[in-house]
Chains A and B, each alone.
Chain A
Amino acid sequence: MKKNKYIFPPLTVLCLLLSACLPKPIDIEIEGHRPTLVVSSQIIPGQTMIVALTRSFSALSNSTQGDTVASNFLDNVLVSDALVTVSYLGETDTLYMLTSGIYISTNTLQYSYGTYSLYAKDPATGMEITAESSLLPKVPFDTVYPVITRNPGDTTVRVEFEFSDLPEKNWYAINYYVKRSGTGFDINRIFSVGSNKVLTELELLSDLTFDDNVYSNETQLSGIGPTDTIAVAIANISEGYYQFLTAYKRAGGLFNQITGEPVNYPSNVIKGHGYFNTHYPDIKVFDLHNY
């Protein structure tokens, strides 16, 4: 009986607290998202320009709330049979559709400091976008090499590099990525959220922070296997694309994912999203079993 007496006060408190009800949530009406065209691009050194053209979609779509993307959803997102042109130096090239959403040109000459104007029109929705980008000169590595430390438990790789900074203000992106030994690059799984991605690091540099016109540094990579292949690519990018990639990195950061604070992506696409960028990457590939 005594024991019951001691339990009674806290139980009373518990009952009072538990009698508190959770209120019914309130639905919020928000104007729906109007799809826009989304652009991404890449130049393959030589003469090839690739432009990916997709449509944005509502965050309330059931496809974005699930784990994988349904195929008919992709049909709505990937733009087919669009008119995509790139104009430069008085010339206009029409890109042809390689597959839904991917447009390619093999004739576009690549001039340093040349300005490229992109135009695209989606025949299904009538949406149009324009964008401009300058092709900045290629900045290659002066030196770049991996330094590998093989331990019983793991392998660590440090990439040391040096390159010469161009005059005036410049921005650089250095990508590191790993191709696992024995694995292919599965194009069918590229759109699956949650699939095993190739490990990458993205380093962004602004020469405003450089002390010298020759910049050297090293980057530690982790989770590398002793027989993997790593690739290091440096590109001289525009300030706008640098801001875009900075936002991209911040939005993916752990702290931001916890707090969920919004990060907006700058864009040079008029009436659209994404980024039309033209830059030359200098890529060096290292098979680690040779080191």
Chain B
Amino acid sequence: MKKFSFYFLFLTICSIKIYGQQFTISGYIADSTNGESAIGALAFIKGTTQGTSTNVYGFYSLSLPAGEYEICFNYLGFEPIIKKIKLDKNIVINPKLSPVKNELTEVVITADEQLQQVKSTQMGVIRIPIEQIKNIPTIGGETDIIKVMQLMPGVKRGGEGQNGMFVRGGSGDDNLILLDEAVVYNVSHLFGFFSVFNNDALKDVTLIKGGFPSKYGGRLSSVMDIRMKDGDQEHWRVDGGIGLLSSRLTIQGPLKKDKMSFLLAGRRSYIDKVFKMAYGGKNVLPYYFYDINMKVNYKISNKDRLYFSYYDGDDILAASAPSDSGIFEGGFKLGNTTFTTRWNHIFDSRIFSNTSLVYTKFRYDVEANIPGNSFLVRSNIKDIGIKEDVEIFESPESHITCGYSFVSHGFRPNVVNTSGEISEYLRSQQGKLITTNESGIYFGHERTLDSLFKIYYGFRTSSLSGDSCHYWGFEPRFSLNYALSETQSLKFGYSRMKQYMHLVSSSSIALPTDLWYPVTKNVKPQSSDQLAVGYVQKIKKIKSLLTVEAYYKWLNNLIEYKEGAVLLLNNNYENELIRGKGAAYGLEFFLQKSTGKFTGWVGYTLSWATRKFDKLNYGEKYFAKYDKRHDLSLVGTYEFTKRFSFSAVWIFSTGQRFTALKGNFFMPNSALSNVDVLNIYSGKNAIVLPPSHRMDINFILKTKKRKYWVEGEWNFGAYNLYNRAQPYKVEIVANDNGTYKYQAKGLFGFIPSVAYNFKF
């Protein structure tokens, strides 16, 4: 038995080498204009669909039997490159693709990204090119990747203008958002109206809603993997933009050609300055935000590359006003810092590894000072971790991924410093440092079984250790692709996810006091199990990809808050939490066109999301707040000429739900000293607001190209073109006849915007 085991192990290890007489073509695919690596670009044998795609670092590896081939490199928006090769040893090819000059030119190729999605086992994934995101109109003319993702099927928006994302019936804290591998805890500026992501610094955004690869874990509902640009490796460049609410500037270039490049991007809002100037120096609106993104990449050798990514951003409110006791000064500051160091190493032409050291800090301070009294409330989260990801490109039919991660989370909520009379009511406290260690080991294998079937199977084992608790979870992942034809496939997927932390917020409005807390011995990890089936078709006639997916998700150990829970400065918040379960199911339809003069998509979702908690809604099942039955997005951009294009977005959705105050009754208090008026509510989330719909538009006019001059682009846009209220709040208001009624109010009406973008 021992001998047999040894021989079996030996054969398994050597299988890579003994797999026929195979040689490998590998390398990095990049953009010729700036050297940026191309994520998801294709390398395949011309005339076949046998090939592979680049990973998030632009690396590909294709192993084939010895012979002569024509290899084609293809990427959306770029001219393909075809090379003839004689494969009799491992070779490295690093093609640099040039942008398409004439979109009307038909290039006959047998594989493209849309076909890749048809053939892939991956379900529930959305990738939008950053260039396409920039043209989509949004509020105030500020392009925002999160607002764009909210236009996707399966992704529900929060209140008007808010950055909340509720993916396939999940909650706002169920989304894992990564910026170059580092977790970003707070993704919003200005209470959720803008995201912290500066598009000029970004290269790729991928949203995964289901069929999660085993590499990802830690959240129940979605993963948004955001990759920063590496920095132009060919030329020095300056990009920027001046808008109504903020401006930005990006500088990038090679520090050493073909060896090292950098990128530095900054953004700041200046509405505070505008109002100050307009109001004769008075600080009427003392609020601003800023972001800084920095990246340096260094090619040590053909096999080793180093990347350093840094992000820092804050929201700052600093107000002062005269009062009876003197000058009142107060405000808040909240923001994130992330720092990642990554090392890519190619072991041999088929094994690629990435090692990341990650650091994240999220903090907020709220303070106020008045002569004789002051207080400061501070909270922060600090993550320090290491991740290792290995990819084995065994063959065109077999791709293995494996790795581990270890992150130490340090939560320090509610550090309070007070002085003066106020300290009698609000005592200083050091706050409790809660440290947890979260780790995961994963394995995944995508294998083409035959011409019809392709499967992905894998697992992730996760664990969390805290002061007095230890949890672990086994998270299987599986998906299957059945090819109906060259351009159509059926897919099936299952994934289990676990979440070891949650956002504590008792209000529906994003407040600075919203805090992340880890699980404890009393608060167990949440989990989800998701089944999905889908149909994908590339429609060649209209160069579009059609995806239809149905899903069912079970949610367990969900956390909610007792009614009337007080979470502000409450170190015993656990007593306010209750557990329950939920379910979400629905059907998504997505038709996307990414090439040609007209690009855009249609997204429609029909969905339900329910919750059940013994201590809420009298123990009866109820609909989740963002259970919106129908959600439709129509997005389109048309390029009339090289200089002039037009974008429009029209969205429609069933109203979100709320709990209405319906009646009152008198009740003496327990001491019978007075009588109070108590409220009677409808069932929890039983009332649906009116449907919301709106149209946003954007005209883009590029300035004429002149040699040695700035290339500019004017954006003229309008948010909510026909000024329809997008209900975000319900109030009881007086009628003309003296009675009262419920009314839903919108936050923003028609908002025009102007912005100027430039580059040189």
Contact = CB atoms under 8 A, between A and B. Distances in A.
A173 B506 CA distance: 26
Interface stretch (B146-154, B379-387, B601-609, B722-730): B722-730
Contacts of B591: none
Interface string A31-49: 0110110101010000000
A259 B509 CA distance: 9
B663 A56 contact: yes
B679 A263 contact: yes
Binding site of A, secondary structure by majority: helix, strand, loop or mixed?
Answer: mixed
A191 B675 contact: yes
B8 interface: no
B661 A250 contact: no
Interface stretch (B116-124, B490-498, B558-566): B558-566
Contacts of A38: 665-667
A1 interface: no
Contact of B744 (A11, A28, A54, A177): A28
Contact of B672 (A6, A42, A77, A250): A42
A145 B660 CA distance: 45
Interface stretch (B25-33, B431-439, B749-757): B749-757
B426 interface: no
A64 B664 contact: yes
A223 interface: no
A193 B664 CA distance: 13
Contact of B665 (A21, A25, A56): A56
Contacts of A36: 665
Interface stretch (A91-99, A115-123, A197-205): A197-205
A253 B724 CA distance: 36
Contacts of A247: 563-564
B278 A14 contact: yes
Interface in B718-760: 720, 723-727, 730, 732-734, 738-746, 748-754
B744 A60 contact: no
Contacts of A176: 671
B742 A30 contact: yes
Most buried by A among B663, B668, B672, B678: B663
B507 interface: yes
A181 to B, nearest CB: 16
B19 interface: no
Contacts of A177: 671, 673
A67 interface: no
B278 A10 contact: yes
Interface residues of B, number: 72
B244 interface: yes
Contact of A60 (B508, B659, B723, B741): B741
Contacts of B618: 264
A30 B739 contact: no
Interface string B546-573: 0000000000000000111111100000
A65 B738 CA distance: 10
Given A60-B741, A255-B568, A198 B674 contact: yes
B727 A26 contact: yes
Interface residues of A, number: 71
B190 interface: no
Given A6-B277, A198-B674, A273 B682 contact: no
A77 to B, nearest CB: 7
Interface in B613-633: 617-618
A175 to B, nearest CB: 4
Most buried by B among A176, A193, A247, A264: A264
B128 interface: no
B244 A26 contact: no
B541 interface: no
B564 A250 contact: yes
Contacts of A16: 244, 752-754
A24 interface: yes
A262 interface: yes
B721 to A, nearest CB: 11
Most buried by A among B244, B564, B618, B754: B564
A256 interface: yes
Contact of A248 (B678, B689, B746): B678
A252 B566 CA distance: 11
Contacts of B567: 255
B670 interface: yes
A7 B667 CA distance: 59
Contact of A13 (B244, B506, B680): B244
A27 interface: yes
A19 interface: yes
Most buried by B among A23, A59, A175, A274: A23
Interface string A243-262: 00101111111011001011
Contact of B671 (A7, A200, A259): A200
B734 A19 contact: no
B424 to A, nearest CB: 10
B255 interface: no
Contacts of A107: none
Contact of B564 (A11, A23, A77, A253): A253
A191 B749 contact: no
A58 to B, nearest CB: 6
Nearest to B562: A250
A197 B673 contact: yes
B744 A200 contact: no
A17 B690 CA distance: 27
A175 B673 CA distance: 10
B327 interface: no
B678 A265 contact: yes
A14 B670 contact: no
Contacts of A262: 563, 659, 661, 679, 681, 684
A10 B274 contact: yes
Contacts of A109: none
B749 A27 contact: no
Contacts of B725: 23-26
The 7 closest A-B pairs by CB, nearest first: A250-B564, A33-B663, A23-B725, A175-B671, A56-B665, A198-B673, A23-B749
Given A11-B278, A20-B752, A259-B509, 12 more contacts: A13-B244, A14-B274, A14-B275, A33-B663, A59-B679, A60-B740, A61-B664, A202-B671, A255-B566, A256-B564, A261-B563, A262-B563
Interface of A: 6-7, 10-11, 13-14, 16-17, 19-30, 32-33, 35-36, 38, 40, 42, 52, 54-62, 64-65, 77, 173, 175-177, 190-191, 193, 195, 197-198, 200, 202, 233, 245, 247-253, 255-256, 259, 261-265, 273-274
30 contacts: A7-B278, A10-B275, A11-B278, A13-B244, A21-B723, A25-B744, A26-B743, A27-B741, A28-B687, A28-B744, A30-B660, A42-B672, A55-B665, A56-B680, A59-B661, A60-B740, A65-B734, A175-B670, A200-B673, A247-B564, A248-B676, A250-B562, A250-B564, A253-B564, A255-B566, A256-B566, A261-B507, A262-B659, A262-B661, A273-B680
